[in-house]
Amino acid sequence: MALLERVGTLLRANLNDLIDKAEDPEKLLKQLVLDMENQLMQVKTQVAIALADEHLLEKKRREHEDAEAEWKRKAELAVRKSDDGLARAALERSLSAKTMSAGFAQQLEDQKTEVETLKNALRSLDQKLAETRSRCELMIAEHRRARVVGRAQHAREVIAKKEGDSSIARMKSKIAGAEAHNAASRELMDGDSIDDRFAKLERDEQIDALLQNLKEQHAKTA
C-alpha cells in the first residue's frame, strides 16, 4: 500500500541527517511533525475502514455457514420423505453455501492480517510522532539557543573590537601628546641655547672691546 510506504519512509527518517541538510531546521522539523500527524490521521481512517470490512466479511461468512447448515437440514428432511431429487437439490445448495463460506473465511483471514498490519503501523507511527514531537521541541530549543549564543558572541566581538579601537585611539592620542610635549621641550631648550650663545657673543665682544681699550692706553703711556 502506498500509505504504508509513506509511513515507512517517515518511520525511517533520521532527524539528525535531515537537520544537517536543512537550510531552516526549525521549519523542517515542524513540517515533519505535520506530515506525521497527517499520515497518522490517514492510517486511523484506513484502520477504521479495514475493521468495518472485517466485520462485513465475518457477517457474510456466518450467513453462508448458516445457509450451509440450513440446506443440509432440508436435505435430511427430503431424505426422510424419500424425495431423493429434492434432497440432491438441497445438498447442491448446501455445498455451494459451504464453498462461499470458505471463500469468505479466507478473505476474512487476509483482512485480519491487513488490519493487524495497519494497527502495527498506527502504533509505530503514533510512537514515532510522540518521540519526534519531543525531539523537535528539544532541537528547536537548541537551534534557537545556538542562534542567541551566536548573536551574543557576535555582539561581544563587536564590542571588543570597538573597545580595541578605542584603546588604540587613546594610545595614539597619548603618543601624539607625548610627541607634542617633547617638541615643545626641544623648542624651549633650543630657545635657551640660542639666547645663551648670543649673550656669550655679546659678552665676548664687550671683553674684546675692553681689552682693546687697555692695549691702546698702554701704548700711549709707553
Query: pLDDT tens digit string along 181-191?
Result: 555 555 545 54
pLDDT of the residue at 188: 47
Give pLDDT, residue 183: 58
Flag whether 42 is in a domain: yes
Residue 149, pLDDT above cutoff 80: no
**Residue 184 falls within a domain, yes or no?**
no
Q: What are the φ/ψ torsions at residue 24 (nearest 5 degrees)?
A: -130, 85
pLDDT tops 80 at residue 166: no
Domain assignment present for 180: no
Any domain includes 47: yes
Domain membership of residue 112 as a residue range: 2-149
Is position 56 within any domain? yes
For the chain, give the percent of residues with pLDDT over 70: 64
Q: Does 174 map to a domain?
A: no
pLDDT confidence of residue 46: 87
The per-residue pLDDT for range 69-102, each reduced to its tens digit, is 999 999 999 998 889 899 999 999 999 999 999 9
Grid coordinates standing for 133?
Answer: 514531537
Question: Is the pLDDT score of 203 beyond 90?
Answer: no
Q: How far is residue 185's CA from residue 146's CA, in Å, rounded to a whole number?
A: 57
Q: When comparing pLDDT for 26 and 84, which is higher?
A: 84
Residue 189: inside a domain: no
How many structural domains comprise the chain?
1
111 pLDDT exceeds 50? Answer: yes
Against a cut of 0.75, is the pTM above it?
no
Domain membership of residue 131 (yes or no) is yes
Question: What's the mean pLDDT in 194-211?
Answer: 73
